[in-house]
Amino acid sequence: MRGKAQAKQKPRLKTLERVFSKAGIGSRTDARSWIGSGKVRVNGRVAQNPDQWIDLDRDRITFEGKPLCDAEKVYILLYKPKGYLTSYGDPEGRPTVYDLTKEAGTWLSPAGRLDLDTSGLLLMTNDTSFAERITNPAHEIAKTYQLKAATLLTDDQLQQLRQGVELSDGRTRLAGVTRLRDSASAKYTFLELTITEGRNRQVRRMIEALGSKVLKLVRVAIGPIRIGDLPIGKWRHLTADERAALGVDARGDRRQKTITRPIGNTSGRRRIPKPSYSG
């Protein structure tokens, strides 16, 4: 006999609505609708409470009479246009990224956000663990932006961005900063900025901390994945190599390796083509 009894394994518990979202079947809003319409059963009984606790190892869940199974994992890259929301719906009827991805054929959720006035690379997936990995700042996955500042920025100001600026919610981490060009009129500076955080409106607030303002903002990369020549408003599936670079193997399983951060230029200039936008 062992000297000590093995500790009893803690049950894996999730609310019923989260079971659906984690499985990649649909959003929590979808799950609540399905539960309310009597389409979901737990251990043979019609479920009525979306907040019911589910033991993932013991409870049996059926949806429309069939056992609930994980959906095939889907990962897409969307070139989000300016003026589109990343939320599932909007009470004001404004366009959302879901209007652009209807042909994906499954429920998807953004892995991170872009505000209404920002365009560029948006990853969408039904793999909630992958989305958490992309968005959680603890994983330090780089997000790269190109921007047009409302003023001409000095080299000293760019160095401030590299070393971190003080915001209302704390000092920013070290950033990669490259001056792309200054306008011919010497009124505007175009930058490429790489950060490993995801605070609300962070890039805009960083530029405002210098006494300037962002006029145009485009996210061009997440980690090693760049938006390339994808037309604005269009989407495509991530390639196997791109999924692997973000820590997902060919079967859709998450790897445990740390993703390398392409911080980019941290001290000086480099020659680079002009940004994809004009102005």
DSSP string computed for 160-219: HHHH--EETTEEPPP-EEEEEEE-TTSS-EEEEEEES---TTHHHHHHHTTT--EEEEEE
pLDDT at 194: 97
For the record, the structure tokens of 56 come out as: 């993932």
Please give the pLDDT value at position 115.
94
Residue 69: pLDDT above 80? no
Condensed to tens digits (0 to 9), the pLDDT of residues 8-65 reads 678 888 888 888 877 777 777 888 888 888 888 888 888 888 888 888 888 888 888 8
* pLDDT value, residue 86: 93
Homologous superfamily of 13-67: RNA-binding S4 domain (3.10.290.10)
Please give the share of the chain, as a percent, with pLDDT higher than 70.
86
List, by residue number, the catalytic residues. Answer: 115
Location of each CATH 3.10.290.10 domain in the chain: 13-67
Distance CA 133, CA 224 (A): 15
Residue 179 confidence (pLDDT): 97
Query: Mean of the pLDDT values across residues 149-172?
Result: 96
Euclidean distance between CA atoms 176 and 76, whole angstroms: 26
Q: What is the model's pLDDT at position 266?
A: 37
Report d(CA 88, CA 29) in Å as an integer: 9
Query: pLDDT at residue 171 above 90?
Result: yes
Least Cα distance to 141 among 196, 76, 219 occurs for 196
| Domain covering 72-279, topology | Pseudouridine synthase (3.30.2350)
What whole-number distance in Å separates Cα of residue 19 and Cα of residue 124?
A: 19
Which tens digits make up the pLDDT trace of 84-141? 999 887 889 899 999 999 999 888 999 989 999 999 999 999 998 898 889 998 889 9
Q: Where in the chain is the domain with CATH 3.30.2350.10?
A: 72-279
Is 157 a residue whose pLDDT tops 90? Answer: yes
pTM of the model as a whole: 0.76
Contact assessment for residue 17 and residue 50, using Cβ atoms and an 8 Å cutoff:
yes
Higher pLDDT among residues 74 and 261, named by residue: 74
